[in-house]
Amino acid sequence: MKRNIPVVGMACAACAANVERRLQSLPGVKTATVSLPTRTAAVEWDEKVITPEDMKREVNAIGFDLVIEADRSVKEIERREYTLLKRKTVVSWLLALLTMAISMGWLHVGGKDVANQCALLLALANIVYCGREFYVNAWKQARHLIASMDTLVALSTGITWLFSTYNTFLGDSTWGVRSMEWHTYYDASVMVITFVLTGRLLEMRTRKATADAIGQLVGMAPKTARIYQGERNAPDGSRQPIVEEVPIATIDKGDVVEVRAGDRIPVDGIVTWANSFMTDDGAYVDEAMVTGEPAPVVKRRGSMALAGTVLSQGCLRLRAQKTGDDTTLAHIIKMVEEAQGSKAPVQRTVDKMASVFVPAVAAIAVLTFLAWWGIGGSQALPQAIMSAVAVLVVACPCALGLATPTAIMVGIGKAAQNNILIKDAAALEQIRKVDAMVIDKTGTLTLPNPSIDFTKADNLGPEERETLKPHAKEAIQQLRDMGVELFLMSGDNEEATQYWAQKAGINNARSRVQPQDKEKLVESLQKQGRCVAMAGDGINDTQALARADVSIAMGKGTDVAIDVAQMTLMGDDLRRIPQALNIGRKTVAMVKQNLFWAFIYNIVSIPLAAGAAHLAGINFQITPAWASAMMACSSISVVLNSLRLKYI
C-alpha cells in the first residue's frame, strides 16, 4: 500500500524528522517521507505486517497524530486548529500585556511582593492554557529520547518561570542577604509563548497560500452531476429528458451524465450524444485545464471527455468510464500532491542537520550558562540563566526546515498552473542543471498530417506528411538561449529528419535510430559530464526516458511514456519545456536564498543571544522576549520569500 496520510501537530523541521524516523523504524514500513509544509506523510507499507492504526498509535506516542479515519476531515481539523490557535494567541497577548504592565511598574497592584505574585499567576495561566501543548509534546518526546521546537520552548519558558518563582518567594533570603539585586522574569516567559504562538498563526495563514495550485485543481471537480434517466412526452408533444441531480460521489461507471453549457464535466466518459447551435452532432469543450490550448474542441458521439473540463457551448451526454479518484483530474491532483510532498536531495541533508539541531542548541545553552556562571560567579547567575534561555528561544529549526519544501511546493504548484506536471521534487531540482536535451521527432516535435494516405506516405515529401508543432521553433530557440544543446532523434529517413531539424533550428540530428540508440546517445552525453533531459511521447522513447537525468513526456503520448517520465507536458506546446527549466532554476535559486538566510539567522542570533557582544566590549544582548519575536519572524520570512515564486 502507498498513501499520503495527513499529519497533525507538526510545527518545525525537527517535528517532521521525528515523525519520519518513527514511521521508518516500524516493521512493515518500506518508505516514509514527511513534508512539513504540506503536513503529510507519504508512506509505503506491507499491509500484512502493519496497519494504519498501528502507525497512528506509534505517532501518537510522540505527540503527533495521523488522520486515517474516513469520517475525519483534514480541512475541518485544520479549521478548528486555526480557530483554537487564534483564540490562544489573543488570550496570550492579553496575559502578556498585563504581565508586562505589572513587571515594568506601569500598573500598580501593591508592593513588590504582590506585583510578583500577580505576575506569577498570570504567567502560570499563560503556560497552562496557551502553552500547554508545548509541555505535553516535549514530555512525550523526551520519553522517547527525541526533541523538537516544543522542547526548546518548554525548557526556556519553564526555566524562566521556575527561576522567577524561586526569586518571588526566596529572592531576599538568597540574594538580598548578599546585597545582590534580584529580579523576576515572568514577562519574558509569557512573551516567548506569545511570540511563538503568533508566529505559528501567521505561518499557518501564509502556508495556505502555498497550496493554491491544489485548491484550484480540486475546485475544478464539480460537487454534483445530472444523471440522464431517459425521456418523456411533454404536453406539447415533444420529448423531454428526465434528469436527476445527484452528489458526484454517487455516480457509477456506466451511468449516463448530462452536461449543459457552462458546466464542468464531472467524470471521464464517452460522449453518447451532443448538440449545439453550431452543429447538430457536436458540442464544444474547453480543455485548457488538460492541454493548455485556449480553443474549444468539438466533441461528437464516441469522443472522450475528461472530468474538470468545461462545456463552453451546447449540451452533451456521456457514459461514465472513470469516476471519483480514477478520473484524469484526480490523477493530476494526486500527482501534484505527491510531488509537493516529496523531498529534493538538498532537503534530505537539511533534515539530517535538523535532527541534531535541537540537541546541539540545548548543549550550547548549557555551555552559555556555565560560561556566564564561571566568569561572574553567583552574582552572574541571573544573567547566566537568561542568556541560556535566550539561546534556547532564538535558535529556531523552523526556518531551516521550511527553507526547501516551501519553495519546492510553490514551484511545483506554479508548474501545474502552467500545465507542467512534475512527479517529484528531485526532477525540479535536477532540471536546472540540464545542458543537453534529446528530442524525439514524431509526436514530440512534429505532428502527422491526418489527411494523408499512409500507404503512399513514402512517396510524399516531409512537409506533405509526421507538420511542425505550433511554437516549436520558438521553444527550441528559447532552449538554445538558455544554454541547452539539442539533439533530434528519429526512426524516419535521413531526408525527413534533416528537414525538420533545420526547420526547428536543431543542429544535431540522427535518423533511422532504434530505441536503444536513443538510450545510448543519452548515456554517451552523460559520460561527457552533461546533464541530459529526454523529451518523448512513445513506447520507443521509454528506454531513453528512463536513462535520462530528467525525463519529459508529452501529455498526448502513450501511458507508458507518461508513467516513466518525471515531467508531463499537457498539450502540444513545446514552450512548456523552457518554462519548466525556468521554473526549476528560479525554484532552486529561491531554495538557496532561504537556506542562506536561515543559516545566517542562526549563525548571527545564537552568539548574540549568548552574550558574545560583551566580549567585544559592546553592551548588547538579545533578550528572551526579543529572541522569540526574531524566531517567529525567521519562519514567516522564509514562507513569504517562497511565495514570491508565484509572481516571478
Report the catalytic residues: 440
Q: Compute φ and ψ for 488, nearest 5 degrees.
A: -95, 130
The helices-and-strands tally (H runs, E runs) of the chain is 21, 20
Q: How far is CA 585 from the centre of its chain?
A: 17
Provide the CA 370 distance to its chain's centre, in angstroms.
Answer: 41
Phi, psi angles (nearest 5°) of residue 346: -65, -30
The number of CA neighbours under 13 Å toward the Cβ of 385 is: 21
Grid coordinates of 400: 531551516
Separation between Cα atoms, residue 207 and residue 360, nearest integer Å: 28
Interacting residues of 163 by C-beta distance below 8 A, sequence separation 6+: 185, 382, 385
Spatial separation of the C-alpha atoms in residues 593 and 461, rounded to whole Å: 52
Asked if residues 191 and 390 have their Cβ atoms less than 8 Å apart, the reply is: no
Rounded to the nearest 5 degrees, what angle is found at the Cα of 8, between the Cα atoms of 200 and 129? 55
**CA atoms of 148 and 609, how far apart (whole Å):** 19
Residues 545/519, Cβ–Cβ less than 8 Å: no
In order of 242, 342, 537, 538, the CA distances from 534 in angstroms are 51, 22, 10, 12
Q: How many C-beta atoms surround the C-beta of residue 370 within 10 A?
A: 12
Q: Which backbone phi and psi does 620 adopt, to 5 degrees?
A: -140, 140
Q: What phi and psi, each to the nearest 5 degrees, are found at residue 250?
A: -90, -5
Task: Give the separation between CA 554 and CA 271, rounded to whole angstroms.
Answer: 24
Long-range Cβ contacts of 381-389 (<8 Å, 24+ apart): 382/163, 382/182, 382/183, 383/611, 385/159, 385/160, 385/163, 386/160, 386/185, 386/188, 386/623, 386/624, 387/609, 387/610, 387/611, 387/621, 388/159, 389/156, 389/159, 389/160, 389/188, 389/365, 389/624
Please give the backbone phi and psi of residue 437, each rounded to the nearest 5 degrees, phi first: -135, 130
**Residue 270 bridge partners (DSSP):** 304, 319
Contact of 329 with 217, CB cutoff 8 Å: yes
Contacts with 130 (C-beta within 8 Å, 6 or more apart), sequence order: 88, 89, 91, 92, 95, 193, 194, 197
Residues 190, 93: Cα–Cα separation, whole Å:
9
Which long-range contacts (C-beta less than 8 Å, at least 24 apart) are formed by 608-612?
608/394, 609/387, 609/390, 609/391, 609/393, 609/394, 609/395, 610/364, 610/368, 610/371, 610/387, 610/390, 610/391, 611/368, 611/372, 611/383, 611/387
DSSP run (H or E) holding 487: strand 485-489
25 contacts: CB under 8 Å, gap ≥ 6: none
C-alpha grid cell, residue 182? 534580584
E strand map for 330-479:
420-422, 436-440
